[in-house]
Amino acid sequence: MNSYYVYILKCSDQSYYTGITNDLDKRIEQHQSGCKKDSYTYNRRPLKLEFYQEFSDVLQAIYFEKKIKGWTRRKKEALIRGDDQLLQILSECSNATHYKYQDRYK
């Protein structure tokens, strides 16, 4: 059975990079060594692995990676810290049209 990893790196400029791989150690080493000059992380080294999650299904891993890439910095940091409560709050819809706020606008 193959394993797939979704990971978040913190770059030297304090930005975050999210990726997916089936060999986490090898991929982190590739980022650190700067094997691709046109990659996002090349000029942002050194890098620190802040988070990773293992998946047995590649489609689930791809879905999770794409989901994280759309998140705000604050939400990524809540995930990194394991702050499930804040992650829940940041994930809730706060639009006026959300069902939780319907009574306020009637």
3-state secondary structure 17-79: EEEEECCHHHHHHHHHHCCCCCCCCHHHCCCEEEEEEEECCHHHHHHHHHHHHCCCHHHHHHH
* CB distance 4 to 54 below 8 Å: yes
Considering the entire predicted model, what is its pTM?
0.86
CATH of domain 1-70: 3.40.1440.10
Give pLDDT, residue 72.
94
pLDDT of residue 100 exceeding 80: no
Domain residue ranges of the chain, discontinuous segments joined by +: 1-70, 72-106
Query: Tens of pLDDT along 3-21?
Result: 999 999 999 999 999 999 9
pLDDT of residue 102 exceeding 80: no
Query: Tens of pLDDT along 44-60?
Result: 999 999 999 999 999 99
98 vs 73: CA distance, rounded Å: 23
Query: Tens of pLDDT along 68-94?
Result: 999 999 999 999 999 999 999 888 866
